[in-house]
Amino acid sequence: MTKLIIQIPCFNEAENLPETLVALPRRIPGVDVIEVLVIDDGSHDGTAEVARRFGVQHVVRHRRNRGLAAAFQSGLDAALAAGADIVVNTDADGQYEGADIAKLVAPIVAHEADIVIGDRGVADNAHFGPFKRLLQRMGSSVVRQLSRTDVTDAVSGFRAISRAAAQRITITTEFSYTTDMLIQAGRKRFKIVSVPIRTHAAVRPSRLFKSVPQFISRQLMTMARAYATYNPLRTFMLIGGAIAALGLLPILRFLYFWASGDGQGHVQSLVLGGSLLVLGVLTGLMGVLADLIGANRKLLEATLKHVRQLEEQVALLRSESEAPPRAAARQVRR
């Protein structure tokens, strides 16, 4: 039996959530059970109450707003604990077409993909302005290089994740999960595919960032951090090599004047070059140390995967022991 859980991160979405819930599919080929999970990220407008009134099976509540990345991770954890075989993430503001969830799920049901990203067709999407289209295309291009994947819309939040992939994904950024998750998944060699999806015009400005420069800077920091986490040796070696190469320039300058018989007045070049060269070597050694720490990280990730599996088994046994089953939405506070 294949179980799909559709998770919806929310922050003060009581007004928009009902329309989103009504648009969700009730039947999908290859899926036996469809349930909905709402993550109330510290809302103060009754979002959780609205979710329960509309029959949402699972509600996770954060006591205060912790951000989209934390809400996404809480949703994954709760969905796995509830026995999800596939997790679909969508927005509460109705940006995505609910019927297209079937498109996201199909490659996973057919065992052709581990993660499916909804492609909004950024290049010719009528809901995006020219500048936003350019930024999205540039950002997706960078993420493709860093993750070694062929994702066409890297920051799309409309995505489906198989159980096996969700068990090995841990969001570490505090800003947005989209690029962090893709770089992780790409480096862990999950099969990632894109499918075209439909979108609707935004009903309100984004709450994730206040300005375009802030969005760009945070995304760049997220990409750099995620890449360095999974490629520490290459990252530090490149930085150290660049510093060492820069240090060779003043050293060569000193050697030139020294060979010309005028080396006494250019000792500062030797000092500067030597300092940069030593700094470059130390940076490279930091890369070796970071790579060894990365090996420990892999062991911790394997341990986390087994812990999650044990928690899921305990939760399943507990739910089976409940008689009769609870009709109301299950609420978890975090």
Whether 266 has a pLDDT exceeding 80, the answer reads no
| Three-state SS at 100 | helix
What pLDDT was estimated at residue 109? 95
Which backbone phi and psi does 4 adopt, to 5 degrees?
-110, 130
Percent of the chain having pLDDT more than 70?
Answer: 87
48 close to 332: Cβ distance less than 8 angstroms: no
What pLDDT was estimated at residue 211? 64
Whether 57 has a pLDDT exceeding 70, the answer reads yes
114 close to 169: Cβ distance less than 8 angstroms: no
Could you give the strand order of the β-sheet that contains 33-41, starting from the edge strand earlier in sequence?
Answer: 192-196, 115-119, 159-162, 86-89, 3-10, 33-41, 58-62, 330-333
Residues across the chain = 334
The average pLDDT across 54-67 equals: 92
What's the pLDDT band for 287 if we cut at 50, 70, 90? confident
CB proximity list for 121: less than 8 A, separation 6 or greater: 153, 196
For 130-151, what is each residue's pLDDT tens digit?
666 677 777 777 777 777 788 8
| Three-state SS at 75 | helix
What pLDDT was estimated at residue 327? 44
Average pLDDT for the chain: 84
The average pLDDT across 166-178 equals: 83
Lowest mean pLDDT among 4-8, 210-214, 241-245, 307-311: 210-214
Distances (CA, A) of 246 to 208, 255, 269, 275, 297: 39, 15, 12, 10, 32
Between 100 and 320, residue with greater pLDDT? 100
Distance CA 53, CA 59 (A): 11
Nearest CA-CA partner of 35 in 107, 101, 96: 101
Whether 325 has a pLDDT exceeding 70, the answer reads no
| Three-state SS at 6 | strand
List the structure tokens of 69: 């990345």
Between 303 and 34, residue with greater pLDDT? 34
Whether 108 has a pLDDT exceeding 70, the answer reads yes
